[in-house]
Every structure is written in C-alpha cells, then in structure tokens.
Amino acid sequence: MNAKSLLVVLAACAIALISGCANRATGSIAADADMSKVRTFYVVKIPADERGVDLLIRDNLIKRGFQATAGPEAPATPVQADAVVTYADKWMWDMTMYMLELTITMKNPADNFPLATGNSYHTSLTRKSPAEMVDEVLGNIFADANRKQGQDRK
Amino acid sequence: MTAAPWPRARRPGPGYLLPGCIALLGGCAMAAGDTAMVPASFDIARRHPGTVRVEVVGGSDTGALDKPRISDAAFTRALAASVLRSGVFPEVAHGTRGDWVLSVILVRLDQPVVAITATVRLEAGWALKRSDAGSTVWKAVIESRATETGLGAATEGAARNNIAEGLARISRLDLSMQK
C-alpha cells in the first residue's frame, strides 16, 4: 500500500466518523432564570456570519410570539431587550455545505450572565436545514423553560 | 505527477491502519469522566463554613459516534469531589439540604471536529446563593480551555480548569458578610 492509499483509507475513516449519523439536541435553563419574564430578545450577529443565522434566530423567536431584533454586538443605541442572544455555528462539507452544530445562548443584558443555552449537533446522514436547527435548539430551550415553570408552580 | 512510493522497508501494512483509525476514533463516543475532571491542586484563599449543594445544567450525554461530552451528572460528581478535596466547603449536601447552593450552567463546549492535538474551550456560568434567603451572593462567567492529545482528554482538561478557577474565585469571597 502506498502513501496515497494510506491517506485515502485514513480519510475514509475520518469521513465515516464525521459524516455518520450522530445527533444531539439539548436545551437548559439556568437555575435562577425566570424565562416567563423574557419577552424581548436582541440577537447579536457574528461579524463573519454570511449565512444569516442571526436572522433565522430572530425570525424563529418572532414566530414564537416574542419581540426580537438582530444587529451588531455594539449597536449605536443601547440594547432594549430582556435577553441578549448569541450563537456559535459550525459547518461541514459533504456533497454540499450543511450546518453541523449550533449553540444558542441567552444572556441577561444587565450582567451578561447566561439565562439559557441549547445545542444541536447533526452529522451528514441526519442533517437538518439551518432553519430546522434553529427551531430545534430554541424549541428545546423553551421546552425546558416550560418544564421548569411547571416545577416552580408545584 | 505520481506520488513516490513508500520505501519497501517502511511500507505501511494493514497493521498501521488500525492504530490510525483508533487515533481518529479514540476520542469519540467516550464521555468525559468525572474523576479526570477533578483538579490535582487548588489555589484556595480561604475555607468557608457550612454545607453546599451542587446543581449543574447545560451538559449533555455522549451518544454513539458523538464527540466526548460533559454530562450534568459527571460534572456534578467532579464538582462535588473538587469542593471536598479543595476544602472550600467542608461538606457537600444532597437533596434539598445545604446552607449554600452552587449552581453551574455549562453554556458552551467548543470542540474541534477532528483533531489529534485538540484545544477545547468551555464557558460556564457559576452562581452561589444562600439556600435560606435565596439571594445570589456571587456569580460569574468562567471561560477555560485545555490543549491535550485526544478530544476526550482536552474536554476533561477544559472542565478541570473551569472547576479549579471557579472554586478559586469562591474561596476569595467573604461569605461571613452574607448572613
């Protein structure tokens, strides 16, 4: 086996690993966070994001009945929102580019302390569109918020 | 252009492939272990009286073929063991007991997709409150990182460094004023 063949086999191992059918979806609320009081969001756009993930998050929040705006990290006027939303996205190539992983974090604008976080990870065989990834992450965050509010009422 | 063949004496056979694949796969589908997330040493300024209850959210279990993740249960065990080993609090309470509640939310675990030598970054929100008054006396966002051989080791290292930093900061608090 020559060097080229060896590299092909190792690359195949790597591709089998990263393009398998692993998936994960989580959403969690911080212990003292009261998400029932959070009605307005400001989504901070990552400067390098050319795919408009910030707008997908904003639109999904609006679809859920919240007020949401998106913009740069340091807007000209102070942020008027109950929560600031940040995100981190990872992309992978397998025939086409797809979103491999998305983490969304909601923070208190007063002290930047996290209120909630969610993460979704889908490799190629279980890939979702960016809009579906956003919906899954936010869905899990608000599901955990509802579960926590139910516990608090008991 | 044709690639130069391997010299005959150093030609890799199938025996070289298995370790290569294991090296790639080795860091995966194995969750971060709680004992490996306990720091070996601590920078502790003072020890506080009373008992503390530990709560952790934001982690996730490690699925098949998944990257190594930090589960809530593993981080809770590692944090409880670290509290005792460091002596920041003399006792860890369970259930709903405890003079203090230490809550941690694992916000973001940033891992490379594939790497032999991996750098992993962990961001976590820490909060300490009195369990009777319910008032938060301290909170902070702590970012840590670790570069290790293997994704699992780097993930455990990032968690270990986060725990070490969090407990060091708690030890510098004056909790006697918080009664």
User: What's the predicted TM-score (pTM) here?
Assistant: 0.84
Q: What number is the average pLDDT over the span A103-120?
A: 96
> Which of B13, B65, B106 comes nearest A17 by C-beta?
B65
E strand spans, B36-135? 51-57, 91-93, 100-110, 117-130
> Which of A9, A24, A32 comes nearest B66 by C-beta?
A24
Q: Does a structural domain hold residue B17?
A: no
- pLDDT-derived band at B99, boundaries 50, 70, 90: very high
B65:A28 CB<8 A:
no
E strand or H helix that includes residue B66: none
Displacement of CA A66 from its chain's centroid (Å)? 17
Q: What number is the average pLDDT over the span A15-39?
A: 82
Collect all residues of chain A within an 8 Å Cβ-Cβ radius of residue B2. none
Q: Which residue in chain A is spatially nearest to B107 when comparing CA positions?
A: A117
Q: Does a structural domain hold residue B4?
A: no
Lowest mean per-residue pLDDT among A75-84, B104-113, B120-129:
A75-84
B125:A114 CB<8 A:
yes
B103:A31 CB<8 A:
yes
The yes-or-no verdict on residue A19 having pLDDT over 70 is no
Q: Does a structural domain hold residue B101?
A: yes
* Beta pairing partners, B100: B52, B130
Q: What number is the average pLDDT over the span B112-119?
A: 87
Q: Does a structural domain hold residue B170?
A: yes
Residue A76 is predicted with a pLDDT of: 74
Pick from B94, B66, B70, B67: nearest CA to B80:
B94
Number of domains composing chain B: 1
The angle that helices B14-25 and A3-18 make with each other, rounded to 10 degrees, is 30
Q: Does a structural domain hold residue B112?
A: yes
Amino acid at A75: P
Q: What number is the average pLDDT over the span B32-53?
A: 93
Domains of chain A with CATH codes: 21-153 (3.30.160)
Q: Which CATH number characterizes residue B108's domain?
A: 3.40.50.10610
Task: Tell me how far apart the 2 most distant CA atoms of chain B are, in Å.
Answer: 77
Q: Does a structural domain hold residue B13?
A: no
B58:A26 CB<8 A:
yes
- Rounded to a whole number, what is the distance in Å from the CA of B6 to chain A's nearest CA? 6
A6:B12 CB<8 A:
yes
Q: Kindly report the average pLDDT of chain B as a whole number.
A: 85
> What are the phi and psi torsion angles at A46 (to 5°)?
-75, 125
- Give yes or no for a contact between A126 and A21, defined as CB atoms under 8 angstroms apart: yes
- Give yes or no for a contact between B141 and B165, defined as CB atoms under 8 angstroms apart: no
Instruction: Give me the domain span that covers residue B91.
Output: 34-177
